[in-house]
């Protein structure tokens, strides 16, 4: 029978339309368990896979840019992305993965030199909240997480997520017990805080107080090894980025921050110690240290010098040695603060 | 074929180490240990791979990707993780316990000369099912070998260890610099895997490689199952070996003279392996296509394995204990930690020789063997001198002997051409090719260094003048790398200081 209806291959636009129709059906018939629904689900899975092979090519053929552009345009002409995100939990694992790859790819597709995905997301920015909250659902976290990371490639979208209330949730997501989900949340968090320099600098200056209070207490002082290790590394990346210079100067003038960093320096984990050193050196190198920073450093002078005496990286690292020597020199040269 | 929806998360495996009772150690690598354990709440036997993230030199990013891949794959022939969580500074990956262990361990303990053809057929078909699924998902496994094929007591076969697998859909979005993934063309250029099983285009990764590299390793694995070990693996690293290589010594890898059994393999089997070991990746069939090869036509079910292969085998725990004893005995002959032993945990009774450079392979269908072809310098010099020249002058060619006819592998010439072509225009060598060549060179250097290290350990102090040149070279390269890093950092720090002083200037003016 089927052979009779084997018409000409469907165009990318047709495929997107058919997908959208089926998504609407799935969305509106959540509970029907009859075979009809199952058939439609099967067809939907197949369609999503076809969309994927247009965008990525398949074993034999490379993707055709014209077809990709048509697909992208039709996809964002209507609300297909929203439907797909909402229906994702109803799809099976393979279809979820295909859909995630489709969404990821669409973020990079240009139609007449425009990333129309970005325009769409700006108009439908609440979708980002759904994706972020996905970290709370074990089955959806990795799919929504991947989509989210792709969407925040767009600066305006990243800015929205950073400025939304949801950004605070990452401090908890990063510490979820599932390693794969926690690590994914952590990768997204890092992306948010390093990708778009100007947005990050603006966000950090505006939100300095609550952000670093949370960062210190929840991440740097976490009981979870991997949280501390990733947090200290990311802190170094942020503070050493020159676009965050103002934030860095502020951070290294606080005695509370210094206390936390000195605790990290004493960790038994080499990796954490080394990363902590890269932040600690900023406190010491600061040529205008506040009095309380100087007094803490002076009070701990002997301990610090003893620590650095046999502080080594696994591999020989000249720069590290040079930094260390400089830090030692600075500490040795410290004088009690003279009141101006 | 793989579309059944498994719902493994419904069986609960807690993210809490106190819920697991460790009963045995069944594998060990540099930074990972594999345990047999019982999950107390649901009284299921599991395997736990415990990876020390503080000692592991692998980047956290690749650990994340492995965990992600493992939790998103769902196929009866792929070993999937139940869950993973942190226990202090170790990552625990809880997996189904495959009670018969890896095929490599089975062969080491009970079938040193390889398995029978009907058993091999079942194993290879199941492995191909897994590969075909993986490739359809856009993943490369990149480390197919008997050590990564696990088997359960009921004969079910699962592909394991995604420590080096890669996705061509997912370019590393983070820093991205150290990943060779190029999602646009779906090709990879970075080096991964275990040398004996590596495809030629992975070793010479200047043109990039794709799914077909896994097919090559699959072919090598077929030989490994047939003979008990992959081509070349029994050779100890020694000065004499290098001499043999450079003097174009052709050796039969499997010492048939000693191996009086003289196993017969079917024409179909030989043909199938021959297809996988085609020098030209594009001529190798896909996993899906291979499944239709007549070799698999009358293939038995997997319970054939439980009745024929697994009867009377010592347990995984016993095997590991034996291996451990042997290791203790040979401790003093073994060299220090190899760089890439992290992913060797399933390789119970591992291979001791790790890295050797091979410029090509000739599959000898009659002998059912793969004859290695080694790089030989024009002057038939020592191989180490040859390498030094390649690095210094970049124009040396390596002659690859191909069953009598010589073929030039002018990687280095290409490199030089690239530089010229860049100026004059019309040169077809682009950045990727260049990168590939450089990475190949780097890999060669690493290999050479490893080899030198091994030899130094072997000779234990004995003078070796030829080697010292290479060591010097390595040193020079290390120093240069370090200098570059230093300059970068200094630059950065200067900028920062500038920033700080500007800021303080502002403060003072207030």
The rounded distance, in Å, linking the Cα atoms of A51 and A70 is 11
From the list A177, A230, A271, the residue facing B15 with the nearest CB is A177
From the list B64, B286, B495, the residue facing A187 with the nearest CB is B64
- Residue B291: per-residue pLDDT: 95
Give the pLDDT confidence of A54-73 residue by residue, as tens digits. Answer: 998 876 778 899 999 999 99
Is B510 at the interface with chain A, CB within 8 A?
A: no
- CA atoms B67, B69, B74, B79: torsion sign: negative
CA-based nearest distance B284→chain A, Å: 13
Q: Which helix (H) or strand (E) holds B37?
A: strand B32-39
Q: Is A125 helix (H, G, I), strand (E, B) or coil?
A: coil
Instruction: Give the max Cα distance, chain B.
Output: 92
How open is the CA angle B400-B406-B409, to the nearest 5 degrees? 40
Distances B54 to A273, B59, B104, B266 between C-alpha atoms, Å: 11, 10, 29, 49
User: For domain B101-168+188-344, which CATH number applies: 3.10.28.10, 1.10.510.10, 1.25.10.10, 3.40.50.11810?
Assistant: 1.10.510.10
Output the DSSP codes for A13-63: HHHHHHHHHHHHHHHH-SS--SHHHHHHHHHHHHHHHHHHHHHH--SS-PP
Give A138's contacts in chain B (Cβ within 8 Å). 9
Beta-carbon separation of B63 and A183 below 8 A: yes
- Report the DSSP beta bridge partners of residue B364: B369
Q: Is B108 helix (H, G, I), strand (E, B) or coil?
A: helix
The rounded distance, in Å, linking the Cα atoms of B167 and B175 is 16
From the list A179, A180, A319, the residue facing B485 with the nearest CB is A319
| Alpha-helical runs (H) found in B331-394 | 383-393
Sequence-distant (6+) residues with CB within 8 A of A19 are: A44, A47, A48, A51, A80, A84
Give B72's contacts in chain A (Cβ within 8 Å). 93, 97, 142
From the list A183, A248, A318, the residue facing B64 with the nearest CB is A183
The rounded distance, in Å, linking the Cα atoms of B419 and B426 is 12
The rounded distance, in Å, linking the Cα atoms of A319 and B479 is 12
pLDDT top residue among B310 and A285: A285
Is B143 known to be catalytic?
Answer: yes
Annotated binding-site residue? B212: no
pLDDT over threshold 70, residue A120: yes
Check residue B255 and give left, alpha or beta (phi > 0: left; psi -120 to 50: alpha): left
Supply the mean pLDDT for chain A. Answer: 92
- Residue B32: per-residue pLDDT: 82
Give A59's contacts in chain B (Cβ within 8 Å). 135, 211, 286
Residue of B11, B503, B508 to mutate when probing chain A, most A C-beta within 10 A:
B503
Beta-carbon separation of A101 and B138 below 8 A: yes
Residue of A105, A179, A185, A315 to mutate when probing chain B, most B C-beta within 10 A:
A179
From the list A150, A180, A226, the residue facing B71 with the nearest CB is A180
Is B307 at the interface with chain A, CB within 8 A?
A: no
Q: Cα A223 vs. chain centroid, distance in angstroms?
A: 22
Is B70 at the interface with chain A, CB within 8 A?
A: yes
Cα dihedral B432, B437, B441, B444, rounded to 10, equals 100
| Token pair for B268 | 């179909």
pLDDT over threshold 90, residue A89: yes
Beta-carbon separation of B84 and A178 below 8 A: yes
HEC sequence for A239-287: HCCHHHHHHHHHHCCCHHHHHHHHHHHCCCCHHHHHHHHHHHHHHHHCC
Residue with tokens 């009690």: A336
Q: Which of B162, B168, B189, B176 is nearest to B67 (CA)?
A: B162
Kindly provide the b/e burial profile for residues B221-245, where b requires at least 16 CB atoms within 10 angstroms of the residue's own CB: bbbbbbbbbbbbbebebeeebbeeb
- A-B C-beta contacts closer than 8 Å: 118
Give B495's contacts in chain A (Cβ within 8 Å). 242
Sequence-distant (6+) residues with CB within 8 A of A294 are: A334, A336, A337
Is B392 at the interface with chain A, CB within 8 A?
A: no
Give the pLDDT confidence of A2-43 residue by residue, as tens digits. Answer: 455 556 678 999 999 999 999 999 888 776 667 788 889 999
Beta-carbon separation of B500 and A287 below 8 A: yes
Per-domain boundaries in chain B: 9-96, 101-168+188-344, 381-465
- Residue B451: per-residue pLDDT: 73
Is B485 at the interface with chain A, CB within 8 A?
A: yes
pLDDT over threshold 70, residue A222: yes
CA-based nearest distance B358→chain A, Å: 29
Beta-carbon separation of B501 and A287 below 8 A: yes
Output the DSSP codes for B421-434: HHHHS-----HHHH
Is B88 at the interface with chain A, CB within 8 A?
A: yes
- Residue B64: per-residue pLDDT: 85
CA-based nearest distance B372→chain A, Å: 30
Give B6's contacts in chain A (Cβ within 8 Å). 93
Q: Is B399 helix (H, G, I), strand (E, B) or coil?
A: strand
Beta-carbon separation of B504 and A62 below 8 A: no
- Residue B80: per-residue pLDDT: 87
- Residue B139: per-residue pLDDT: 82
Give A177's contacts in chain B (Cβ within 8 Å). 15-16, 85
pLDDT over threshold 60, residue A178: yes
Q: At what angle do helices A35-56 and A65-77 cross, to 10 degrees?
A: 130
| Token pair for B69 | 């891949």
Beta-carbon separation of A287 and B286 below 8 A: no
- Residue B492: per-residue pLDDT: 75
Residue of B173, B495, B498 to mutate when probing chain A, most A C-beta within 10 A:
B173
From the list A138, A249, A318, the residue facing B500 with the nearest CB is A249
Interface subset of B 180-209, CB within 8 angstroms of A: 185-186
Instruction: Give the max Cα distance, chain A.
Output: 94
- Residue A62: per-residue pLDDT: 84
Beta-carbon separation of A318 and B482 below 8 A: yes
Per-domain boundaries in chain A: 9-115, 125-195
Give A286's contacts in chain B (Cβ within 8 Å). 500
| Fold classification of B9-96 (topology level) | Phosphorylase Kinase; domain 1 (3.30.200)
Q: What is the mean pLDDT of each run of 10 residues along chain B (510 residues)?
A: 45 91 87 91 93 76 82 91 91 91 89 92 96 87 89 92 54 32 40 57 54 90 89 51 38 40 80 90 92 92 85 82 74 44 33 38 66 47 34 29 34 33 39 65 74 69 53 78 81 68 50
DSSP state of A10: P
Beta-carbon separation of A92 and B174 below 8 A: no
Q: Which of A254, A251, A268, A339 is nearest to A307 (CA)?
A: A268
pLDDT top residue among B145 and A315: B145
Beta-carbon separation of B173 and A245 below 8 A: no
The rounded distance, in Å, linking the Cα atoms of B348 and B27 is 6
> Catalytic residue among B52, B54, B143, B432, which?
B143
Beta-carbon separation of B9 and A245 below 8 A: no
| Token pair for B258 | 């000693």
The rounded distance, in Å, linking the Cα atoms of A201 and A254 is 19
DSSP state of A219: I
| Token pair for A178 | 């599932």
Is the ipTM value over 0.85, yes or no? Answer: yes
pLDDT top residue among B195 and A209: A209
Beta-carbon separation of A317 and B482 below 8 A: yes
pLDDT over threshold 50, residue A104: yes
- Residue A263: per-residue pLDDT: 95
Residue of B1, B31, B58, B85 to mutate when probing chain A, most A C-beta within 10 A:
B85
Q: Are strands B101-102 and B149-151 parallel, antiparallel or unpaired?
A: antiparallel
How many of the other CB atoms lie within 10 Å of CB of A152? 25
CA-based nearest distance B118→chain A, Å: 30
Is B21 at the interface with chain A, CB within 8 A?
A: no
CA-based nearest distance A305→chain B, Å: 23
- CA atoms A240, A242, A246, A249: torsion sign: positive
**Phi–psi pair at A272, nearest 5 degrees:** -70, -45
From the list A104, A149, A287, the residue facing B504 with the nearest CB is A287
CA-based nearest distance B263→chain A, Å: 37
CA-based nearest distance A279→chain B, Å: 12
Kindly provide the b/e burial profile for residues B107-138, where b requires at least 16 CB atoms within 10 angstroms of the residue's own CB: bbbebeebbebebbbbbbbbbbbbbbbbbbbb
CA-based nearest distance A103→chain B, Å: 12
Beta-carbon separation of A178 and B85 below 8 A: yes
Give B83's contacts in chain A (Cβ within 8 Å). 178-179
């Amino acid at each position: 029978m089927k052979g009779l209806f084997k018409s000409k291959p469907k165009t990318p636009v047709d495929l997107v339309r058919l997908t959208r129709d089926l998504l609407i059906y799935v969305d509106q018939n959540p509970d029907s368990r009859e075979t009809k629904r199952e058939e439609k689900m099967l067809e939907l899975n197949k369609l999503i896979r076809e969309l994927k092979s247009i965008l990525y090519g398949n074993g034999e053929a490379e993707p055709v840019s014209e077809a990709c552009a048509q697909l992208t345009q039709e996809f964002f002409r209507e609300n297909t992305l929203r439907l797909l995100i909402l229906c994702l939990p109803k799809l099976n694992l393979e279809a979820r993965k295909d859909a995630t790859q489709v969404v990821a790819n669409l973020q990079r597709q240009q139609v007449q030199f425009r990333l129309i995905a970005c325009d769409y997301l700006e108009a439908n920015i609440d979708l980002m909240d759904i994706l972020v909250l996905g970290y709370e659902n074990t089955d959806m976290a990795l799919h929504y997480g991947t989509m989210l990371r792709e969407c925040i490639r767009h600066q305006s979208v990243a800015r929205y997520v950073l400025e939304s209330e949801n950004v605070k949730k990452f401090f908890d997501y990063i510490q979820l017990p599932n390693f794969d989900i926690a690590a994914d949340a952590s990768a997204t968090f890092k992306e948010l805080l390093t990708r778009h320099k100007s947005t990050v600098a603006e966000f950090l200056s505006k939100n300095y107080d609550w952000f670093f209070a949370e960062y210190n207490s929840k991440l740097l002082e976490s009981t979870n090894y991997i949280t501390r290790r990733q947090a200290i590394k990311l802190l170094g990346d942020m503070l050493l980025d020159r676009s965050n210079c103002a934030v860095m100067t502020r951070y290294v003038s606080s005695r509370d921050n210094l206390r936390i960093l000195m605790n990290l320096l004493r960790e038994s984990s080499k990796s954490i110690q080394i990363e902590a050193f890269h932040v600690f050196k900023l406190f010491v190198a600061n040529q205008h240290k506040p009095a309380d920073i100087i007094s803490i450093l002076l009070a701990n002078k002997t301990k610090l010098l003893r620590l650095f005496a046999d502080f080594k990286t696994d591999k020989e690292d000249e720069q590290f040695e040079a930094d260390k020597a400089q830090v030692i020199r600075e500490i040795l040269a410290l004088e009690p603060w003279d009141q101006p | 074929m793989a579309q059944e929806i498994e719902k493994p998360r419904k069986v609960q495996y807690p993210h809490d180490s106190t819920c697991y009772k460790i009963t045995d150690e069944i594998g060990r690598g540099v930074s990972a240990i594999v345990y047999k354990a019982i999950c107390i709440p649901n009284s299921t036997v599991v395997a736990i791979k415990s990876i020390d993230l503080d000692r592991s030199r692998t980047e956290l990013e690749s650990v994340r990707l492995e965990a992600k891949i493992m939790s998103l794959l769902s196929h009866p022939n792929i070993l999937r993780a139940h869950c993973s969580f942190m226990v202090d500074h170790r990552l625990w990956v809880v997996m189904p316990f495959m009670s018969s262990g890896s095929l490599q361990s089975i062969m080491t303990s009970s079938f040193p000369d390889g398995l029978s053809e009907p058993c091999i057929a079942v194993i290879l078909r199941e492995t191909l099912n897994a590969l075909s699924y993986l490739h359809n998902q856009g993943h490369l496994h990149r480390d197919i070998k008997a050590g990564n094929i696990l088997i359960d007591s009921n004969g079910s076969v699962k592909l394991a260890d995604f420590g080096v697998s890669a996705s061509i859909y997912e370019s590393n979005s983070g820093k991205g610099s150290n990943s060779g993934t190029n999602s646009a063309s779906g090709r990879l250029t970075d080096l991964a895997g275990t040398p004996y099983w590596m495809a030629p285009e992975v070793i010479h990764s200047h043109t990039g490689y794709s799914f077909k590299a896994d097919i090559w390793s699959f072919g090598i694995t077929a030989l490994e199952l047939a003979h008990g070990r992959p081509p070349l693996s029994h050779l100890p690293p020694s000065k004499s070996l290098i001499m043999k290589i450079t003097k174009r010594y052709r050796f039969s890898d499997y010492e048939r003279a000693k191996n009086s059994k003289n196993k017969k393999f079917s024409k179909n089997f030989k043909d199938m392996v021959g297809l996988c070991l085609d020098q030209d990746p594009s001529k190798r069939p896909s996993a899906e296509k291979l499944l239709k090869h007549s070799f698999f036509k009358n293939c038995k079910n997997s319970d054939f394995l439980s009745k024929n292969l697994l009867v009377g085998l010592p347990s995984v725990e016993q095997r590991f204990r034996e291996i451990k004893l042997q290791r203790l005995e040979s401790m003093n002959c073994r060299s220090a930690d190899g760089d890439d032993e992290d992913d060797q945990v399933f390789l119970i009774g591992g291979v001791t020789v790790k890295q050797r450079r091979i410029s090509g392979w000739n599959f000898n269908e009659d002998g059912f063997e793969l004859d290695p072809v080694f790089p030989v310098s024009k002057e038939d010099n020592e191989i180490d001198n040859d390498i030094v020249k390649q690095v210094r002058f970049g124009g040396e060619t390596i002659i690859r002997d191909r069953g009598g006819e010589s073929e030039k592998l002018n990687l280095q010439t290409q490199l030089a051409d690239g530089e010229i072509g860049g100026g004059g225009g019309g040169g077809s060598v682009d950045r990727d090719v260049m990168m590939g060549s450089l990475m190949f060179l780097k890999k060669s250097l690493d290999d050479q260094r490893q080899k030198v290290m091994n030899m130094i350990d072997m000779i234990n102090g004995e003078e070796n003048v030829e080697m010292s040149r290479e060591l010097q070279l390595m040193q020079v390269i290390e120093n240069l790398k370090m200098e570059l890093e230093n300059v970068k950092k200094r630059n950065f720090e200067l900028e920062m200081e500038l920033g700080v002083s500007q800021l303080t200037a502002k403060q003072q003016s207030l």
